[in-house]
Structure formats: C-alpha cells, structure tokens
Chain A
C-alpha cells in the first residue's frame, strides 16, 4: 500500500462542545477495502461523510487521490473550496446510503443516468448503455424501467450501488448499506459489494455485519467514542482483538 487513495490525517470534528471525531488518522490504499465497525454513536458514519464532504470538519485533512477534500491550504490557513469545486470532488467519490435514497420520481435507468448526464455531460445514450451494463452487474437489467417504489429494499440498494458506480468513481463509500434491509435482502447486497472488492475498487464500508467485514475487508477499523481504537487485518481485530473495548463490542454482536 505505497500509494494511499484516501488519506485522513489528524481529523477532528465537534458539534459545539461535543467532540464526535478525535484525531482520526487513516490511510486507505488503492484497491484496499476497509471496514469500519463500532457501536452506534462512535462516529463511524460521520467519518465516512467527511470523506465526501457531506460533513465539514474542524481540523485535520482528507485527501482522495492526492486531492485535498473541501479545503484549500495556503500560507498555513485553510479556506473552504467553492461549491463548484466541492461538487467536482464529490462526483469522483461514490456513496451508498443506509436508506438507498433513490430518486423516487425517476425510473431505475433515469436514476443511473441522471448524474453522468447532468454533471459530466455524458450523452444520454452512452450513459444508458453504461447504465445497462451496471444493471447487469447488479443483476437487475430487467428492472430498468421500474420505479423505486416497485422494488424491494435489496433491489433498491443494488440500484443505488449501480447509480454510484455510473459516475466511475475513484472510491466507494458505504454507509451501513444493509442496516435498513430485511435479512433476506442483506445477502444479495453483500454479494454485489463482494463482487466489487474483486474488481479492485477502493472502498470504505461502515457496517454492522461483522462476518461480512471479516470476509471482504483487507483491514478492519474499530471505532469508539470518536476515536480509532484498533485497526488491522480482520484476523487480528475481529479474530484476536487486543483492546478491551473491541472485545466487549464484539462479544455483544458476534
């Protein structure tokens, strides 16, 4: 992991007096899959949302593909990027949400081509073609003209993954992608994510599926109270946790 695709350095974030992220540093290599686990309220979703700047942060820095996210540093001071620049950075970072968040008034295909056409000025026909390819990949090409309300949760989430991939992002962020799903649908979504890991996509996955984290990730990050408590290969962090808090958490969820 010589070249870090995502590099988080000394990240702090607080809401008023309450610190939600305390001095987070984490490098994610190109093609690496990092799973972030921990109790709710530990700051793992917030950390993920900082990476595509859906959340601002108080201090520290994040770079994705070598480019600093959200701010510009000059003369020791940091300045907020203007919106156009932030939009451009976000376009490079795919994000999948817990609640799918598909555009309800658009068909599956329209959901997939919206951002490529509107942001990247891709020709609709070309976007549709690539969209179809992605739908085949997530196993939903026959649903291309369906509307989100007619899809199951698992199907919606697979479309949401395809929608993020349609922008050909450098990295993918997954924010508890299976937490809103019924147990039956969890497997089909995990299968799609598993497939992506095989293709060398750089990914950060916030998840409660410990077994899945152990299976697909190169490294597991355990967070608690806004801090990274433990980080390492799954065999260590999940298989043989050193920290007491990690052990306590795992004993509850495993």
Chain B
C-alpha cells in the first residue's frame, strides 16, 4: 500500500522503530526485575485490588451521573433557587482537590460526630468507613463534572426545534423527553465515557485512606518487599488494561448512538424514566 503522503509515512516508521529500539534497550539494560513484575501481575492481592477499583469506578460513576443529572436539571431551571444551589454545588466540588475531598470525607466525624434524624442517630465513624468515604468523595466530585456535561448536552439542542415542538402543541414534558433528551445524549454519552476512564485512575487517590484498591494493594506489597517500581508497573499494566476495556466500551456506545435509530429512540426509551421530570430548558420558550 502506498501512502499518499510518503514523508508522513517515513517519519512515523522511523518513530516506531525508535520506540521499539527504546523498549528493547530498556528491557535489556534496566535494573527492573521483570520476572517479579510477571509474578505479581496475577497475584491474588492484585486481583482483589482490581475488583475494588472496578467496583469503586462503577459505583461512583453511577452515583456521579445521578447527582450530575439532578444538578444539571436544577441548573437549567427557570427558578433561581435550584439554579443557585446547582451552581454552588458545581463550584464547590469542582474546586476542592479530589485528594483533599477524600480526606475530608474520611474524617467527616470531625465535622459532624453523629449523623441521623432526631432520635435516631449513629456515630459518623461507624457509617463512614474508608470505602463509603471513597465512594462519597468520588461521587460528589464526579457529579459536579457530570452536571456540566449534562447541562452542556441539553443546551446544545437547537432552541428552534424546541419551539417547533411547542408550536405543534407538544407538551413541555414530552418535548424534553422526545426532542431534547435523545439529542442531548449524543453529546453526553461520549463525554461520560471519557469521565469513566478518568474515574478509573482517580480511584487510585483513595489509597490515602486505605481502601484496598489496585494501587493500595500494590503499595501494601512493596512496603514489604521493596519492589516499588515493579509493583507500580504491575498496577499500571492493569490500569492500562482497564482503560482499554473502557475505551472499547466507549467506542461501541458511540457507534451505537451514531446509528440514528438507536440515538433517536432506544436511548431515549432507556433513560425516559430517569429524567422524566426535567424540562426546565423548555421554559426558555415559554412566553414570558
């Protein structure tokens, strides 16, 4: 096969060759004990860490999306109080560094020693295990980002179409569900895929509060055997693997929504229940 741009082909070939040579050189001369890397790659403790990392990612993404959708719907609301609340939420949890937020959540007892309603209350320390704190911090953080993504998706839908729907007598609620939402999702879904990959790696920050995620498990092992770099490589290999799986999933989803029928109907049907109450954006077409 001849490339139409021989210069480009030459440069990429040279770069690939150089990269390959670099890798070979690294393996041949490095002091890294690759056999140890290979051994620990399939250690049960590492597998447990993967299990926790994937669990954290899925749980936090799920809660983050729920929080984000709620916050986005509030932020496009015509009334000022929910709008202000959503803006405050986004500002707060996008602004606090995730690492600090994780530590704050873990030490929530310092802010509120007991939580509950009236007579019924429990010690915060009992509820706020390191895993709960991790999920809480990650979800709150993610929710703030998802809020902006969902809001952007909804606002990306052409106002003229909303107006046309309203002019046809289609109700505000149905306009949101049938016209706005399916089109917003084509923007929201790819961005959510991106966020999921980000979350996969962000979970590693919970190692500071001792959740047994992939990175923490690797750290536990290297504090005993001092194979620091080897175990970090093990963790990285798995992170890369998980990211690859997530990327494939994202590709698949994008392909699915770009095939028009799915984008228009199936996705809308799937989320109809979840976002049925949000039609704030339609208010902009309401006569004022």
A interface with B by C-beta (< 8 Å): 52-56, 70, 83-84, 87-93, 95, 97, 99-107, 110, 114-115, 118-119, 147, 160, 163-164, 167
Contacts and interface: CB of A to CB of B under 8 A. Distances in A.
B42 interface: no
Contact of A104 (B161, B168, B172): B161
A54 B287 contact: yes
Given A101-B164, A104-B161, A118 B287 contact: no
Interface residues of B, number: 25
21 contacts: A54-B163, A54-B167, A70-B287, A83-B171, A89-B169, A90-B166, A90-B169, A91-B168, A95-B164, A99-B160, A100-B160, A101-B161, A104-B183, A105-B179, A105-B263, A105-B264, A114-B165, A115-B169, A118-B178, A147-B260, A163-B168
A103 B179 contact: yes
Give 5 nearest A-B pairs by CB, closest first.
A91-B169, A101-B164, A115-B168, A101-B160, A56-B287
B170 interface: yes
A167 B172 CA distance: 18
Contacts, number: 83
Nearest to A56: B287
B287 A105 contact: no
Contacts of B179: 103, 105
A105 B264 CA distance: 6
Interface of B: 158, 160-161, 163-172, 174, 178-179, 182-183, 186, 260, 263-264, 285, 287-288
Contact of B163 (A97, A119, A147): A97
A119 B169 contact: yes
A56 B183 CA distance: 28
Nearest to B285: A54
B166 A102 contact: no
Given A97-B160, A118-B178, A87 B287 contact: no
B168 A167 contact: yes
Contacts of A91: 168-169
A110 B183 CA distance: 15
